[in-house]
Homo-oligomer: A and B are copies of this chain.
Amino acid sequence: MGLRIAVLGCGRIGQMHAANIARHPRAELATVYDIERRSAERVARAQGVSAAKSAQEIFASREIDAVLIATATPTHADYIEMAVAAGKPVLCEKPIDLDLARANACAAKIAGANVPVQLGFNRRFDPGHSAARTAMQAGEIGDLHQVIITSRDPALPPRAYLEAAGGLFRDMTIHDFDLARFMLGEEPTEVFALANALIDPELGAELNEVDSAMFVLRTASGKQCHINNSRTAVYGYDQRVELMGTTGMLISDNRKPHELRRFTSRNVEAGEPYQFFFLERYIEAFMAEIDGFVDCVEKGTPPLAGFEDGRRALVLAEAAYVSMREGRLVQVSEGTA
């Protein structure tokens, strides 16, 4: 008998989590819920479980050990609070909220509850990124000096998605801010951001949104970090991490669907385009994330990505927006005032 997990939210990512939990050796899918009843029922049927009628039903049930929250962003903080109040461990998709104040309020509310809350920063669980960090921590590159994160989506999301996403920094870069913190091993204290709409200039005019961005971060001890983002990597989802230190460098590079290479009179060693979709690129990471969550609940190990990590990533996103608007290097505060 595995950990009985309920999934709230049956969109694209909720469906994936439901399927992953269903085939996870140490977990089982208890039920699924969605504000659109038919979505929940469709997913429930596919996984051979019954759909819940309400979120409350889930929080109240004794047959459910833990919850995974993959609903719309504005509900995250509420559900986290309800789950914690019900004593149910939570794995919640990022971001906690688009509003840092709401995240802070949530932090205050759940403080001291001693119920595990894990944030859905899946990249921390990626085998390559994770092995890079392990190698660094084992001293393979001496002292870390620079981190370079390349993070590019294969294509611009639909306009409707963009309108609700809260802006590039909170929606997409938030993963990179988290990865930067994960790799740097200490808090960035300064942030610089520069961004504009290159792919779709109308984005800028109509939504005040950007699609291409570059960031520089620095920690108190002087470690430097660069992040670059784009919404249009036609060669596939581009996800690289480079760690440069005094005695070596580590690169967690992109992964191809298979290792066929082509050699012609035009070019050689040509590989298959990278995975196009984040669900495929990070499939192992999403499974390992569930693994880690089961460990949190069963063994009491602290989550690899916790609530405070989710909040800190938001603080960086906020600081980055200030930097972009004011064209200056911004000092990063605790973000709680």
Contact = CB atoms under 8 A, between A and B. Distances in A.
A18 to B, nearest CB: 13
Given A212-B146, A255-B259, A269 B266 contact: no
Number of copies: 4
Interface string A214-255: 101010001110101010111110100000101111111111
A270 B272 contact: no
A148 interface: yes
A233 B251 CA distance: 14
Q: Could you say which of A150, A198, A244, A268 has the most chain B C-beta atoms within 10 Å of its C-beta?
A: A268
Nearest to A224: B214
A131 interface: yes
B267 A135 contact: no
Given A145-B199, A212-B146, A267 B258 contact: no
A247 B264 contact: yes
A233 B228 contact: no
A320 to B, nearest CB: 12
A125 to B, nearest CB: 12
A128 interface: yes
A74 interface: no
Interface residues of A, number: 72
Interface string A296-307: 000000000000
Given A194-B329, A248-B265, A251-B260, 12 more contacts: A126-B258, A131-B258, A143-B198, A145-B199, A146-B214, A194-B224, A216-B216, A235-B249, A248-B264, A254-B268, A266-B273, A268-B271
4 tightest A-B contacts by CB? A270-B270, A128-B258, A235-B263, A127-B258
29 contacts: A126-B258, A128-B259, A131-B258, A131-B260, A146-B212, A190-B327, A194-B218, A194-B329, A196-B218, A196-B222, A196-B224, A197-B222, A212-B222, A212-B224, A214-B224, A234-B246, A234-B248, A234-B264, A235-B263, A249-B263, A251-B263, A253-B259, A254-B268, A262-B267, A267-B267, A267-B273, A270-B271, A327-B329, A328-B329
